[in-house]
Amino acid sequence: MSLNGIMSSALSALQTNTEALRVTSNNIANLNTQGYARRVVNESTLSTGGQLGGVDIATVERAIDKYLGQEVLSSSGSSARYDAQTSVYDQLNGMLGAPGDDTALTSQLTDVSTALGQAVLAPTDSATQLGALTAFQSLATQISSLSSSIAGLQSQADQQIVGATGSVNTLLKQIYDLNSQAQQATISGDTSSAVFDQRDQAVQSLAQLVGIRTQDRPDGSVSVMTTDGVSLVGSTYAQLSYSGGAASGSYGSIMLQDTNPQTGQPIGTAQALDPHLDSGQIKGLIDMRDGDLANAAEELGNLARTTALAYNTQSNANTAFPPPSTLNGRDTGLLPTDALNFTGKTTIAVTDANGNLVSRVDVDFDAGTISVDGGAASSFADTVGGFTGALSGALGGNGTASFANGALSISASGGNGIAVKDDATTPADRGGSGFSQFFGLNDLFRSATPSILSTGLSAGDDSGLAAGGKIDLLFKGANGAVIKQASVTITAGMSIGDVVGALNSAMGGTASFTLNSDGSLSETPANPGASLAVTSDSTERGTTGMSFSELFGLGDQQAATFASSFSVNPALTAAPQTLPFAQANIASTTAAGDPVVGHGDSSGALALQNVGTTRQNFAAAGGFAARSATLGDYAASFYQDVALNSQTATSNQTAQDDRLQEAQSRQSSVSGVSLDEELTNMQTYQQAYSASARVLTVVQQLYTTLLQM
């Protein structure tokens, strides 16, 4: 080999080792840099015309493992999903407290039974009356407070989703821009450019928000898509739109729109992202907002509604001593022109301050007659308004009855009181409720929406809904996909059956509605896992303020709405002495002056106390199937359900966090910088550099010798 060849080889070695030292020093400098992949120098033989000519750097590559990279992305999304869920559950568990805490619903129900037990001993004592009222109020306040807290958590999760979608948009645009830079670096042969690290970091940040997978492309760019293949970044990039907020308790979908990079204008039709999410923080928040929290809200609402039904049924069968002067009913949503649709018999009694009978009005709904103090029976029109007029006339100078805005009111005059008693053999009945119970004349609990959903209305009854009113429905699958959006617009003259038929037509088979014989409305979804929401309802029955969906409890959010405004009847709050702790004793032979309600009668309080240990029929709600249970048992099941779901989320979080740590550890062993390894490499390259320099020195000496010869 010539001296020139030797010198050329030595120079190539100097240059190669200089570059290798530069790469090594960069690795050491980025020892603690998040997302940095160490660079590896790949050397190759330098040859000219088949002759060895020294050494060259073939490539400088990033030390990465594609499989481990995908595993880190996958585990990051799963970990973030369950991190989001457990974070929400931590707050929910703090609000609920433990089942044995004083503020727990199970404890509140026990306190009600205890207070009623005291009332049994002294039903007319003001202290026991106030104690019972306080227990009722505490239970109602706790239920409504929990309902508001759950709704607050849903709103909080929704706002986090809004913020996360904004971050996703930023990352998608950033990844697209970095792709362009990566393409330029690839064309220039710089496959170790820092842009690849920056892009990987952006991709990993995106994976924590939405579940994704990636695919490397030959030009150096990377395609990003959801795990089921919906493109997020490619030749174009997507942008998300979601403004947040709920429409009547129902949240909309996150929309994904492909975007033209040159103009920023949308391409094609937007699609919902929700069904394509299987991991990431957004998925976890959606699971909580629309899944576990929504289920908890419905289960709590179901407990509130059944509690109201159970206690109100007994409360309306009771009376106070002395009976109250006025019984103001709830808004039933009925109109004066509606058919009465009652069967059986009931008695409305006017009593004096000592509980003795002043006058008795007997009503036979089957015969359509009304009589006073056992006198001749007279007929009345079989409408709500016709009956109210007949009752007011029958009361005469002893009282009045009125029906306005869906509510029945009965008052006694002259300081007397009103007591209502259904016949023991053939009790009054409309849709399964007694006379006083259906109208809510002596309710213990109230809410902004009805507790009784068996309206007693039939298909042929006039809907009473003004033309132009509109019901908007949203039917969503278990994965968040919108299965059906539909609207029903009320036209003049529609009957109840017509409205039900219009609902069925609008849903097009995705759900069917049936008006039952008791006037309740049943919904049967074609997809059992789907949920129905009423996003808006501008209908109103007459001047009652009651919409069609409120009247029939249409939509999964109605149960939660009931709990949010759950409270004790304001009439009882204003006058604790009117708590119905007694029971009226009225027979066909009871005459004026006979005792109807006795001082010290605690039979009503005892019956109310027994409600707590009586099994009630609970409708299906949230994650619970229909069941028969006591109020306390259902409340305990509610806590157990939340605790079980919370524990499941925590277990999943632990498993996915461990999976992520393992994937990151293995990735770090491949891509991470080892200080010991890099120092060893540095010493090796320094020694090689020194050896090359000595070769050059020898060549120089040889040239000098040759020149001196």
Please give the torsion angle defined by the CA atoms of residues 289, 290, 293 and 294, in that order, rounded to the nearest 10 degrees.
Answer: 140
Helices (H), 462-613: 496-507, 548-552, 558-564, 570-574, 603-611
- Of 511, 536, 552, which one is at a domain's C-terminal end? 552
Position 215 pLDDT exceeds 90: yes
Half-sphere exposure of 315 (CA within 13 A, CB side): 25
* Confidence at residue 50, expressed as pLDDT on a 0 to 100 scale: 67
Taking the C-alpha atoms of residue 132 and residue 578, their distance in angstroms, rounded to an integer, is: 12
Are the C-beta atoms of 221 and 182 separated by less than 8 Å? yes
Identify the H or E element spanning 82.
helix 66-96
Bridge partners of 222, per DSSP, are 216
Residue 689 lies in a domain: yes
Whole-model pTM? 0.89
Q: How confident is the model at residue 26 (pLDDT cuts 50, 70, 90)?
A: confident
Helix (H) or strand (E) holding 84, with range, is helix 66-96
What pLDDT was estimated at residue 49?
67
pLDDT in tens, 447-490: 999 999 999 999 999 999 999 999 999 988 888 888 889 999 99
Helices (H), 318-452: 384-395, 435-439
| pLDDT at residue 192 in the model | 76
| Phi and psi angles of residue 335, each rounded to the nearest 5 degrees, phi first | -115, 155
Task: Give the C-alpha distances (Å, rounded to integers) separating 599 from 154, 363, 675.
Answer: 50, 27, 91
Round the average pLDDT of the chain to a whole number and report it: 91
Q: CA 668, CA 244: separation in Å to the nearest integer?
A: 38
Q: Which of 28-42, 233-247, 349-363, 517-531 reaches the highest mean pLDDT?
A: 349-363
Whether 71 shows a pLDDT value over 70: the answer reads yes
CA–CA dist 604, 313 (Å, integer): 12
Token pair belonging to 501: 């038929």
Residue 39 has pLDDT above 80, yes or no: no
DSSP letters, 134-158, are HHHHHHHHHHHHHHHHHHHHHHHHH
Higher pLDDT, 709 or 397: 397
Question: What does R_g of the chain's alpha carbons equal in angstroms?
Answer: 39
* Closest of 313, 305, 302, 319 to residue 610, by C-alpha: 313
Nearest to 520 by CA among 443, 607, 614, 619: 619
Which of 92, 107, 94 is CA-nearest to residue 152?
A: 92
Q: What is the reported pLDDT for 110?
A: 95
Number of domains into which the chain is organized: 2
The answer to whether 212 and 203 have CB atoms below 8 angstroms apart is yes
Structure tokens at 516: 């039952």
Of 552, 578, 597, at which residue does a domain stop?
A: 552
Return all residues near 201 (Cβ < 8 A) that are at least 6 apart: 34, 35
pLDDT grade, residue 373 (50/70/90)? very high
Looking at 552, 569, 593, the residue that finishes a domain is 552
Which helix (H) or strand (E) segment is 201 a member of?
A: helix 194-207
56 located within any domain = yes
Alpha-helical regions (H) of 97-125: 105-121
- The pLDDT, as a whole number, for residue 54 is 77
- SS3 of residue 236 by DSSP: coil
**In the predicted model, is pLDDT for residue 57 greater than 70?**
yes
Torsion over CA: 682, 684, 690, 695 (sign) = negative
Spatial distance between the Cα atoms of 199 and 209, rounded to a whole number of angstroms: 16
Is residue 271 domain-resident? no
**Would you say residue 78 lies in a domain?**
no
Give the pLDDT confidence of 433-447 residue by residue, as tens digits.
999 999 999 999 999
Backbone φ, ψ for residue 207 (5° rounding)? -65, -25
Peptide bond before residue 525 is cis, with ω within 30 degrees of 0: no
pLDDT of residue 1 exceeding 60: no
Position 19 confidence tier, pLDDT thresholds 50, 70, 90: confident
The three-class DSSP label of residue 28 is helix
Retrieve residue 196's tokens: 């690849």
Question: How far is 588 from 360, CA to CA, in rounded Å?
Answer: 9
For 402-423, give one letter per residue: b (16+ CB within 10 A) or e.
ebeebbbbbbbeeebbbbbbbb
For 275, the 3-state DSSP assignment is helix
CA distances from residue 609 to 311, 474, 556, 578 in whole angstroms, order as listed = 9, 41, 31, 17
* pLDDT(82) > 70: yes
* CA angle, residues 423, 424, 428, in degrees to nearest 5: 40
What element of type H or E holds 489? strand 482-489
**Phi, psi angle pair for 649, to nearest 5°:** -60, -40
Residue 393 token pair: 């006339």
Q: Is 308 left (phi over 0), alpha (psi -120 to 50) or beta?
A: alpha
Buried b or exposed e, range 671-698, using 16+ CB within 10 angstroms = bebeeeebeebbeebeebbeebeebbee
Does residue 543 form part of some domain? Answer: yes
What local confidence, expressed as pLDDT, does residue 411 receive?
98
- Average pLDDT, stretch 163-191? 92
Q: Determine the Cα angle at 518 with ends 549 and 410, to 5°.
A: 80
More confidently predicted of 510 and 30: 510
Structure tokens at 416: 């007397």
Within 10 angstroms of residue 648's Cβ, the number of other Cβ atoms is 15
| Alpha carbons 541 and 455: distance in angstroms, whole number | 13
Torsion 305-311-316-322 (CA) sign: negative
Domain span at residue 34 reads: 3-60+675-708
Q: Quick check: is 172 in a domain? A: no
Q: Is residue 20 part of a domain?
A: yes
For residues 382 and 456, is the Cβ–Cβ distance under 8 A?
no
Question: Tokens representing 33?
Answer: 């840099």
Which helix (DSSP H) or strand (DSSP E) does residue 534 occupy? Answer: strand 531-537
> CA-to-CA distance for 454 and 520, rounded, in angstroms?
4
State what percent of residues in the chain have pLDDT above 70. 99
- The answer to the question of residue 357 being in a domain is no
